[in-house]
Amino acid sequence: MNDIFVLPSKYIYDYFLDQKSAIESSLANIGQHAKAISEYMIAIEIEGWHNLAQWFHIANGIKELNYDGIKYDSAFSMCRPAYEYEIERQGLYHKLITEITLFSYLYSGLEGIISNLDLPKCPGQNGKINAASFYLKSNFSIWSNPIFKYSEIVKLCEVMFQYSFESNYTVDSELNRCVGTQGIGLKLLYKVRNKIMHGDFFFPEPLEHSTKYPFQPEIINLCSRLILMTVQMLLLSCRKGNYDEHFQIYESSIFKNSEDYDLVANEKVFLSNLHLKQPNLIAE
């Protein structure tokens, strides 16, 4: 993919945004997805999980952030083209900042869970993410217990990452003795996280003013979803011995049956389907 000297196409840009909307049409929104994990972790009552659940609870509450990038920018009022450009760029930055904030809370929750589970290291590789990837490779089968839309989200995030950051990157390059197909989403989101945390992040420009596609807000949003799906896989793996167990969420704010707010569900069914827009979670 060589788009260095070619201005991005609005057709391609809109096409991938439409693809993202289509994939997400059957999924709960990010906030509800995060809140479902929070409610589960509180209901299970494992030591340390109540505190970890707050990362996901807070993430659900992030709806809007204030950002004013033009308050002290004198160039903003120089001419109409400058005004129109800056208005468009500030809208893009506002969306980006909101997504980075949400992502940061979810990522902290993910790392907290990995630490709490005290996962074994991948031989010869240090770090929590390598440990989590190795654990998933050894304990979770995406074939026998697939997370609906996980593969599609990984693929779309990969393509957007290629258009906005590194044209030669592929998720298959992450595969090694520590990482199987179950962990490529985790490695991809970790790559994006490192770009943000280590100052290598490429900030977007409005489509008609850039040589790269401004998919950055969408990429981070997809990575937030991959965090939550990775948490599902980790919890499914560590709770294998409880697959036949049922648990109760008292006064759930998102899962409601026709009679009351108390949900009784099978653990495996709940963890496998909590990210769906219309999940069937009620215990038989």
Rounded to an integer, the average pLDDT of 245-262 is 70
| DSSP conformation class of 209 | G
Residue 257 confidence class, pLDDT cut points 50, 70, 90? low
- Mean pLDDT, residues 194-202 taken together: 92
Interior CA angle at 187 toward 185 and 190, to 5°?
A: 110
- 71: pLDDT strictly greater than 60: yes
Helix (H, G, I), strand (E, B) or coil at 122: strand
Out of 103-107, 156-160, 269-273, pick the least confident.
269-273
Query: To which residue do tokens 């697959």 refer?
Result: 243
pLDDT tens digits, one per residue of 14-61: 999 999 999 999 999 999 999 999 999 999 989 999 999 999 999 999
How far is Cα 280 from Cα 214, in angstroms, rounded to an integer? 37
The answer on pLDDT for 147 being more than 80 is yes
pLDDT tens string 113-123: 999 999 999 99
Report the pLDDT averaged over residues 240-255. Answer: 76
Rounded-to-5 percentages of helix, strand, coil across the chain? 60, 5, 35
pLDDT of 4: 46
Q: How far apart are CA 90 and CA 54, in angstroms?
A: 30
Model confidence at 242, pLDDT cuts 50, 70, 90, reads confident
